[in-house]
Amino acid sequence: MTVLSRTHVLALAVTTLATFAGCSGAKSPAAVSAGPAAKATAGRGDASPLPVTKGSPKTASRSAPPGLAALRGELDRAMKTLGSARPPVHHLAYTVTHHEDENILAEYGVIDGATHREGRTFDVDVRVGSREFDSHHASRNVAPVGAYVQALPLDPGDTLAARQVAWLATERAYKDAVERFVSLRNQRDVRTEDEDKSPDFSVEKPTQHIGEPVPALGLDVDGWKKRLASASARFKGKKEIHESHVSLQARRRTRWHVSSEGSEVQFSDRSYRLMITASTQADDGMHLSRFRSFEAWTPEGLPTDAELAGAIAEIVAGLEALRRAPLAEPFTGPAILEGRAAGVFFHEVIGHRLEAHRLRSDADGQTFGKKLGQPVMPSFLSLYDDPTILKIGDTELNGHYFFDDEGVPARRANLVDGGVLKEFLLSRTPARGLLQSNGHGRRQEGRPLVARQGNLVLEASETVPVASLRARLVEEAKKQGRPYGLRFVDIQGGFTDTSRHGTQGFKVMPTVVYRVYTDGRPDELIRGVDIVGTPLAMLMRIQAAGDDYGIFNGVCGAESGWVPVSATSPSLLLGQIETALKDKGNDKPPVLEAPAAAAAPPATARAAGDPASSADARGAR
């Protein structure tokens, strides 16, 4: 989905983690070191240091591949002419992405689809003008910079074909860049001066890194077809479930980047994502869905059959309970955001507004543009983004990388320290006097490049036992004269609008929400709730942080396409939150019973947690 300036997180893998010390293992290839991301806290509650595993890139022993050398030759040839043209090219970069994808989809005991794809794409970035003012300058009056992507031949030895593709793409990108640059230059005579006088492109040290390629996907496709089919058969006989799927996506990616400044970077990664989705419909017409995904860097890290069975049982029970749950009402009052929901909350409420390229556009709300050095959240909270984190505890983080898509080494960006805004997420587009990239320029192949989040982490210097948050919620609700507060347990995703002509608000879409009554009644599951609001007011309403941490892994979509991300946060108590009702629809539930409702589940299926089931699953790996 797309909402005005940007939107994100349609699919999430979610893990809860209580704070504990010690971890092991790392993503290959990497040299790893473990260390705390947060100091041990004292005062209202003691919290163990957040167990972080960081990494550093491992350089290959071999030289650059022939294809990279061919692209370097073509780039140098282009710059020899275009670098002295009028207007001149001051920066030229080529990026090649080789991807191999395996996708398997199963439903109700059969394979619904299986594909293997392999391809290679070429992106070119051309900047015309000078670092101070170039063809990428932000303007609401000139069409935005386009993307220039072409397919490349798979044969790595066919350097002539690759150079031909690079030549054609460079020619097209250069002419478009000249046209945009001239329009921008003409606009300066009739438009007011830019408030932000930062240059359009940063000066960075060229990066030389040829990384080791990751191993092959190593996926037992036939074995996984059987396992996914077997898992999907567990939805048979569940008459209240209308649709369900179990799918596996495996991707191996290698990226090469060369630039006119002398950077030559090769890095690669692989990822595996197993997803379970199911949906139903309440009697009043509301469509309800649940989603669970498992992320891994190796096939061995994917869930066992027993874990899949447990996740499916949880989804089925959750949907059956949601069908019977009462519909929520619009609400303002106190609430608890458990760690996973809090992570998405911070990703949406502040994370996207700290992506620095937004501060260069006068069409953007620039919520935090003039707040460097000012408090933006309570003083016991700090926020940073560090793509070099491999794991927190045993959970591998989706937003990990060592080099961004401009070839700049990734580093930790200390965004908020003690409640005070200190930094933005920066690509090579400076903003507000911050002139150096912190390695957050990211994109999906074929999309323009901007600053994006990676691994976002919220820390609390003062915590309370997470079990005490519920009592504090009840106390706060009584103080405000509310009959209940809300407890948000799980989320589906969210989106935010940062544009001036829009709402400049956000929406987080939870799937599991409880009313916590002040009169002692049991917590009550409700449905049809969205969290809505604007950032400045909401952030300052955080009253306390728990001594736990929740992690979400997912993908985020914005101007530069879909990129993997993570967010880590303790559970939070907010003094006031606002909710709105989801769209319900008015279609009646199906009249006819679904054929799958009468089908019996596999006779060999065992319940989650059955020791025999676990043993069988381990053997199936």
Concatenate the DSSP letters of all residues of 146-200 into one string. ---EEE--S-TT-HHHHHHHHHHHHHHHHHHHHHHHHHHHHHTTTSPPPS----S
- Count CA within 13 A, CB hemisphere, residue 45: 20
Q: For position 66, what pLDDT does the model report?
A: 80
Question: Which residue's entry shows tokens 């323009």?
Answer: 448
Q: Are 71 and 94 in contact (CB under 8 A)?
A: yes
Give dist(CA 613, CA 304) in Å, integer. Answer: 9
pTM for the predicted model, two decimal places? 0.88
Which pLDDT value is given to residue 362? 78
- Percent above pLDDT 90 for the chain: 68
Query: Residue 477 and residue 480: Cα distance in Å, rounded?
Result: 5
Q: How confident is the model at residue 492 (pLDDT cuts 50, 70, 90)?
A: confident
Q: Is the pLDDT of residue 485 over 70?
A: yes
pLDDT at residue 47 in the model: 55
What is the set of domains in the chain, with CATH numbers? 12-60+327-581 (no CATH), 61-210+216-326+590-621 (3.30.2290.10)
Residues composing the chain? 621
3-state DSSP assignment of residue 236: coil
> 159-187 and 66-82 helices cross at what angle (nearest 10)?
40
Query: 437: which strand partners?
Result: none
Does pLDDT of 578 surpass 90?
yes
* Predicted pLDDT at 603: 61
Residues 370-394: what's their mean pLDDT?
Answer: 95
CB count, 10 Å around CB of 411?
17
Residues 518-536 have a mean pLDDT of 94
pLDDT digits (tens, 9 = 90+) for 493-509: 788 888 787 778 888 89
Question: pLDDT-based confidence at 167, cuts 50/70/90?
Answer: very high
Q: What mean pLDDT comes out for the span 428-432?
A: 94
Give me the pLDDT at residue 60, please.
67
Question: For 70-86, b where at least 16 C-beta lie within 10 A, e where not — what string?
Answer: bbbebbeebbeebeeee
Q: Would you tell me how many other CB atoms lie within 10 Å of the CB of residue 437?
A: 27
Distances, alpha carbon 439 to alpha carbons 97, 98, 373, 448, in Å: 19, 22, 22, 16
Backbone phi, psi, residue 336, to 5°: -105, 130
* Residue 328 near residue 526 (C-beta atoms within 8 A): yes
How many beta carbons lie within 10 A of that of residue 277, not counting itself? Answer: 17
| Higher-pLDDT residue of 368, 80 | 80
Phi, psi of 92 (to 5 degrees): -135, 130
The residue type found at 278 is A
Residue 416 has pLDDT above 70, yes or no: yes
Helix residue ranges per DSSP H, 238-354: 305-324, 339-346
Q: In what order do the strands lie in the sheet with 395-396?
A: 30-36, 51-57, 389-392, 395-396
Overall average pLDDT of the 546-552 stretch: 94
Contacts of 184 (CB under 8 A, 6+ apart): 133, 135, 137, 139, 142
- Of the pLDDT bands very low, low, confident and very high (cuts 50, 70, 90), residue 103 is very high
Percentage of the chain beyond pLDDT 70 is 88
User: In which residue are the tokens 């950077």 written?
Assistant: 263
Q: Is the alpha carbon torsion for 11, 15, 218, 113 positive or negative? A: negative
Express each pLDDT in 300-311 by its tens digit: 999 999 999 999
- Distant-in-sequence, close-in-space partners of 591: CB < 8 Å, separation ≥ 6: none
pLDDT at 591 over 80: yes
pLDDT greater than 90 at residue 185: yes
Q: What is the pLDDT of residue 48?
A: 65
Residue 133: CB atoms within 10 A of its CB come to 16
Tokens of 396: 């591998």
- The least confident of 40-44, 303-307, 567-571 is 40-44
Go through 105-117 and write b for each residue having 16 or more CB atoms within 10 A of its CB, e for each that does not: bbbbbeeeebeee
Which of these ranges, 166-175, 354-363, 463-472, 602-611, has the smallest mean pLDDT? 602-611
Q: Residue 566: is its pLDDT beyond 60? A: yes
Q: Is the dihedral of CA 338, 341, 344, 350 positive or negative?
A: negative
Question: Which pLDDT score, from 0 to 100, does residue 165 have?
Answer: 93
The residues near 559 (Cβ < 8 Å, ≥ 6 apart) are: 5, 6, 447, 448, 450
Average pLDDT, the chain: 87
Mean pLDDT calculated for residue range 508-513: 92
- Across the range 572-601, mean pLDDT stands at 88
Q: What pLDDT is stored for residue 44 in this prediction?
A: 54
Query: What would the pLDDT profile of 317-358 be if each residue is shown by its tens digit?
Result: 999 999 999 999 999 999 999 998 999 999 988 999 999 999
